[in-house]
Amino acid sequence: MTTDSNIPTRRRVIHDGNPVMVDRYSGLARLNHWVTAAGLILLALSGLALFHPSLYFLTGLFGGGTFARFIHPWIGVVTFVSFAGLFLRFWRLNLWSKADSRWLGSPGAVLSGDEEALPEVGKYNAGQKVYFWVMSILILILFLTGSVIWMEYFAAYFTIEQRRIAVLIHSISAIGAICAWIVHVYAAIWVRGTLNAMTRGQVTGGWAWRHHRKWLRDLVSGNPNKR
């Protein structure tokens, strides 16, 4: 049992109590997540402000259009580096499995919350894995296309046609990332108890058993590669 006093503190991830609490994210992982989340929000606001004249009023949040244009790419760099930290931390846990295909193939059970009709999942279910890989691809595209249209530093390396194509791809990818982020936030609110994982770093044992049963089994068995 992971709460046994003979097990080193770093291995104690399940804590007795009422309710039983299970460690899900470390403090550094949560900090990494919230820096990335803040960066994405700021990028969305500043990017939309520069995207269309009707949204230009959003530049007021950044002290005006000039500063919004200046700070937007730098926020992008910080967000990309922060997300890279999340990617390196969690990519192995987001590799696809046959169980994920079965989970994704049961939309009725997923939407109704009938967890008993779904296969047991590890730390992340198929929906979370899809979000992880979609955002990984989109953020990489945004970073690359954003570099192409960053006039202050890279204007001399690309033609006007290349920059126009980059602007189009950048805009489409940004809209896709915003939509994916909205779904991610909605899902976190919809599944009660999920936000505690990224605010306090812990979930209840009941939450872990219901939503990520295989992950909980791996924790109880002391398998460090499944955390």
In a domain, 51, yes or no: yes
In a domain, 197, yes or no: no
Cα atoms in the 13 Å half-sphere on the side-chain side of 208: 27
In a domain, 189, yes or no: no
In a domain, 171, yes or no: yes
Rounded Cα–Cα distance for residues 120 and 220 (Å): 15
Phi, psi angle pair for 162, to nearest 5°: -65, -40
In a domain, 4, yes or no: no
Rounded Cα–Cα distance for residues 204 and 213 (Å): 12
pLDDT for the residue numbered 9: 38
Taking only the tens of pLDDT, the chain with its 227 residues reads 334 434 443 357 889 888 999 999 999 999 999 999 999 999 999 999 999 999 999 999 999 999 999 999 999 999 999 999 999 999 999 999 999 999 999 888 888 888 888 899 999 999 999 999 999 999 999 999 999 999 989 988 999 999 999 999 999 999 999 999 999 999 999 888 899 999 999 999 999 999 999 999 999 887 655 44
SS3 22: strand
In a domain, 49, yes or no: yes
Q: Classify residue 139 by burial, with Cβ atoms within 10 Å: 0-12, 13-18, 19+.
A: buried
Cβ–Cβ < 8 Å for 179, 187: no
In a domain, 138, yes or no: yes
Q: Give 76-80's long-range contacts (Cβ < 8 A, gap of 24+).
A: 76/39, 76/43, 76/142, 76/143, 76/146, 77/143, 78/35, 78/39, 79/35, 79/36, 79/39, 79/40, 79/43, 79/139, 80/139, 80/142, 80/143
Rounded Cα–Cα distance for residues 25 and 128 (Å): 15
SS3 217: helix
Name the residue range of residue 99's domain: 27-178
In a domain, 109, yes or no: yes
Q: How many domains are there within the chain?
A: 1
pLDDT for the residue numbered 11: 56
pTM value?
0.88
Tokens representing residue 77 in the block:
């760099």
Phi, psi angle pair for 72, to nearest 5°: -55, -50
Q: In this structure, what CATH number is given to the domain that contains residue 90? A: 1.20.950.20
Residues annotated as part of the active site: 184
